[in-house]
């Protein structure tokens, strides 16, 4: 019975933090029905109702809110015990959970995984890609790779090497239209731009002009809300697009894209690896971070 109550408390803590049985089940690698049954048994044992359930939401009751923070502390203590056990092993091993946005995961992380897995065969990678920022502790994430300026937090972080953001076009497009020589020349070209999903705002194209950085929002014939779609449309000849160099490196190498306005490209240094204090000495986290830095520095 004690073991069942413990599993029920863990299920309750995760479901309360994530807002659904399905999300809790995914994070704990069990079925939603297992989460539901564990919480039902816990409610029966405690003699209280922990959640108000509707078809669309899961809301903590007053009693549930009172107990939830304590259950979260129990869950964090259990995770800390797991991390301490992991730190006793000098060799990286176990599951390494990594979170990143879709473009970063595809173009920065996925390419370095084969060599990392070959070097550390006892590590299993669980890569989770989403443009929504998640809570590393609640989602049980070991390390996250994020692009953009970091908000103040208790997370540890390390900057990854800088990259360039600039314009690209397909050889087919450039065979029809002479490449622009200056950013203002984009007025006479078809362009593909990105609309941010979270704000609905259009991406402002940065250019380095002398010692200044300017921004332009081109009048685009194609607007998409995913960077991969913008790159695909650019490679297909729809016009000139802007992208980070690591996102288009393979297309440039295969001569499917050509840099345009390269003298005006802007350097950015805003990709960071983040991890919680409890993962500081995790051998797999240290090994992956070292591998990322080494691979991206080449």
Question: In DSSP terms, which residues pair with 207 in a beta bridge?
Answer: 214
Predicted confidence (pLDDT) at residue 86 exceeds the cutoff of 70? no
Candidates 3.40.190.10, 3.60.40.10, 3.40.1010.10, 1.10.3720.10; CATH matching 163-268: 3.40.190.10
Residue-range domain boundaries for the chain: 1-89, 94-162+270-296, 163-268
With cut-offs at 50, 70 and 90, classify the pLDDT of residue 8: confident
Of 151, 134, 17, 58, which is closest to residue 49 (Cα–Cα)?
58
Q: Tell me which CATH code domain 94-162+270-296 carries.
A: 3.40.190.10
Q: What is the DSSP string of 6-22?
A: HHHHHHHHHHHHHSSHH
Residue 167, pLDDT score: 98
One fold for 94-162+270-296 and 163-268: yes
**250-284 per-position pLDDT tens digit:** 999 999 999 999 999 999 999 999 998 888 888 99
* Residue 71 CB neighbours (<10 A): 22
Q: How far is CA 97 from the centre of its chain?
A: 11
What is the model's pTM? 0.68
For the chain, give the percent of residues with pLDDT over 90. Answer: 59
Q: Answer whether residue 1 shows pLDDT above 60.
A: no
Of 1.10.10.10, 2.60.40.1120, 3.30.1380.10, 1.10.530.10, the CATH number of 1-89 is 1.10.10.10
Higher pLDDT, 179 or 88: 179
The three-state secondary structure class of 291 is: helix
> How many CB atoms sit inside 10 A of residue 199's CB?
7
Query: Helices marked H in the chain — which ranges?
Result: 2-18, 21-28, 32-46, 62-87, 102-104, 113-119, 171-176, 227-235, 245-253, 283-297
Predicted pLDDT of residue 79: 77
Per-residue confidence band for 141, with pLDDT thresholds at 50, 70 and 90: very high
The edge-to-edge listing of strands for the beta sheet with 94-100 is 123-129, 94-100, 143-147, 271-275, 156-159
> Within 13 A of 200's CA, how many CA atoms are on the CB side?
0
Is the separation of the CB atoms in 241 and 230 below 8 Å? Answer: yes
pLDDT at 2 over 70: no
- Over residues 194-237, the pLDDT tens digits come to 998 888 999 999 999 999 999 999 999 999 999 999 999 999 99
């Amino acid at each position: 019975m004690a073991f069942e109550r413990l599993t029920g408390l863990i299920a309750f803590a995760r479901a309360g933090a994530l807002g659904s049985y399905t999300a809790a089940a995914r994070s704990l690698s069990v079925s939603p029905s297992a989460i539901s049954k564990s919480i039902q048994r816990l409610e029966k044992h405690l003699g209280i109702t922990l959640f108000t359930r509707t078809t669309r939401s899961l809301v903590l009751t007053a009693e549930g809110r009172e107990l939830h923070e304590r259950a979260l502390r129990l869950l964090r203590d259990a995770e800390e015990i797991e991390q301490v056990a992991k730190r006793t092993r000098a060799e990286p091993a176990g599951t390494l959970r990594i979170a990143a946005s879709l473009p970063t995961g595809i173009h920065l992380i996925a390419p370095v995984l084969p060599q990392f897995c070959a070097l550390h065969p006892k590590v299993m990678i669980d890569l989770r890609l989403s443009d929504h920022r998640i809570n590393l502790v609640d989602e049980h994430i070991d390390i996250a790779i994020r692009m953009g300026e970091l908000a103040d937090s208790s997370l540890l972080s390390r900057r990854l090497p800088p990259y360039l953001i600039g314009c690209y076009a397909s050889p087919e497009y450039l065979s029809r239209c002479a490449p622009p020589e200056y950013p203002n020349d984009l007025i006479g070209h078809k362009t593909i731009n990105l609309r941010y999903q979270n704000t609905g705002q259009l991406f402002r194209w940065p250019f380095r002009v002398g010692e200044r950085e300017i921004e332009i929002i081109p009048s685009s014939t194609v607007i998409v809300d995913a960077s991969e779609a913008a790159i695909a449309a650019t490679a297909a000849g729809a016009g000139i697009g802007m992208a980070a160099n690591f996102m288009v490196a393979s297309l440039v190498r295969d001569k499917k894209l050509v840099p345009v306005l390269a003298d005006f490209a802007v350097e950015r240094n805003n990709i960071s690896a983040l991890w919680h204090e409890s993962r500081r000495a995790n051998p797999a986290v240290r090994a992956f971070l070292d591998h990322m830095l080494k691979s991206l520095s080449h």
